[in-house]
Amino acid sequence: MSEAPQNPTRRTALAAGVALAASPLAAGSSQAAGATPLFDVPRVTIPIVGSSQVFPVRRIYCIGRNYAAHAIERGSDPTREPPFFFQKPTDAVQNVAPGTTADHPYPSLTKNYHHEIELVAALQTGGRNVPVEHALDLVYGYAIGLDMTRRDLQNGMAAEKKPWEIGKSFDHAAPLGPIHKVAQTGHFTKGAISLSVNGVVRQNSDLSKMIWSVAEQIAQLSAAFELMPGDIIYSGTPENVGPVVVGDVLVGHIDGLPELRVKIV
């Protein structure tokens, strides 16, 4: 089907598109006034300690290879490489209440499912090209999280120079505890971060060993994307990532936050 340049139907559609783009509704919403959604999609939220409110999640950003010893074990030179980021789908969040052990399903397709214990920063304000010295002003609070990884799928895709999204972005791939407000905890720039499996310590490091600090990550991310309220950032894992199997109990620790406990089922 060919389209005439002066097709009146197309002109009308274009004009309508311009009108929509100029309206305030167009910013972040394609929903016309009065239209109702075909069905409801649940909003993803994270509990906030000491608050009746919850934190709505917009995007989940993650930094790769952000502790020198982990960068080396993944085959990178930690002194040379700029930071890189990836995303998990927002609905990969699995909320884990302190004092409970959440059942975490072993995902499909993998035979090498890895733990990565990480500090998570939650943003209350956004911005573009945020200077490092102002970057922490964007942070609302912090949580302890696991960047669960189907390592065999990640490595297999990387070896073929294909996107390794399938290794990182899947259902339940982002277990985490509740958010603690900065006003209550301060910022996390140092302190122990560790993970044990069945009582045996696997990962054990210090937040001060991050190659790129949370402030630097925010600054870098904001050069690539406009950050927005509700964005959360997984700030990288220390060395000694490794596999888990069904029945394993993972206990994550970050100084100043309650433990994160999950059981692989």
Query: How far are the Cα atoms of 3, 19, 231 from residue 219, in angstroms, in the given order?
Result: 46, 34, 14
- Provide the binding-site residues for Mn ion, judged by CB under 5 A: 116, 147, 237
Q: How far is CA 35 from the centre of its chain?
A: 31
CB nearer Mn ion, residue 61 or residue 181: 61
Count of C-beta atoms within a 10 Å radius of residue 101: 15
CB of residue 126 vs Mn ion: minimum separation in angstroms?
Answer: 23
**Backbone phi, psi, residue 221, to 5°:** -60, -40
SS (H, E, C) 200-260: EEEEEEEHHHECCCHHHHHHHHHHHCCECCCCEEECCCCCCCEEECCCCEEEEEECCCCCE
Kindly state the tokens that stand for 192: 């122990």
CB of residue 95 vs Mn ion: minimum separation in angstroms?
Answer: 19
CB nearer Mn ion, residue 194 or residue 237: 237
CB of residue 216 vs Mn ion: minimum separation in angstroms?
Answer: 16
Residue nearest to Mn ion (CB): 147
CB nearer Mn ion, residue 49 or residue 155: 155
Question: Do residues 86 and 154 touch, judged by C-beta distance below 8 A?
Answer: no
CB nearer Mn ion, residue 76 or residue 229: 76
CB of residue 167 vs Mn ion: minimum separation in angstroms?
Answer: 11
CB of residue 116 vs Mn ion: minimum separation in angstroms?
Answer: 4
CA atoms within 13 A on the CB side of 206: 5
CB nearer Mn ion, residue 94 or residue 237: 237
